[in-house]
Structure 1
């Protein structure tokens, strides 16, 4: 019992640490002035990969939801582990992309990294819509990480009531983040190099 409680504390600390480190590392890599220099044509493919991974995450999350509603716990777990794997894949690719190239600006028609008044006028309200969706996507993607990790922890440690309670919030937020990830990609796609 004592060893189990100590193990639980280790896992809980890991969840907190990961939840704090992910946004800090991502922010550092995006805003750090020096890039890794991995830029090449292959890096330009990563935003499309991100949209694909987010689309697959939507599908696996929906399939997991349907599976658990039908009482198929084994299939539910399979789809949830697939969703988690896709989330990790997305995060690694996202960090690689943003640590290699400058972020694309919505409305930057001449691809110079700056928005002129003319470009801002042409973008109009679509830029505001994009920024609102992007802001909600980023904020919720940061907030959902610890909840996803706790949901997995509770499921794996057979704390099913706690798992059920946390996924009532976590599932729709994770689904929203995945869907808006795809929307954000298609909105900004015209401004990629």
Structure 2
């Protein structure tokens, strides 16, 4: 796995992200694996060449996740990405290197919408709109939730009441806090309130 982690960092640090069109996530898997399409992108070339990475379908899906993630780093420069990664990897705060962390995060994504969100959050971290710790925390919360439920965070942020089941799920994921005992309305509409992670998600993504 070390080759994948290293090549992902190399890709982030050296690739012209604007050349990775957002539509690449729809590229046919066979075209990527058999025809050599996109092999000039380091991480794609490594994944295609690994024999122990899993099935052809697994490789193709993971490549789609990576390309979706990368395409959402638009408007960041190579120098910004290099400086950011160097700063994080010199820090003693984080146990995992950036490549390791991103590979683990992307591997767990259950659909292609999550890599898109993770890419936008990573860009926000590069642009210092959030710190790297907040990026990692938000990725952890996203892993626990059904993506369509996240859309409702904006409604909650705007003071609207939504389905109690969805609120329960967002609370368990970590985007909501529970109102203190004795302050809940009779109809339960204010049982939960959006916390700082939920607010930041709304600000950056919704």
Normalised by the length of structure 2, the TM-score is 0.24
Normalised by the length of structure 1, the TM-score is 0.25
* Structure with greater helix percent: 1
Larger RCO, structure (CA 8 Å, separation 6 or more)? 1
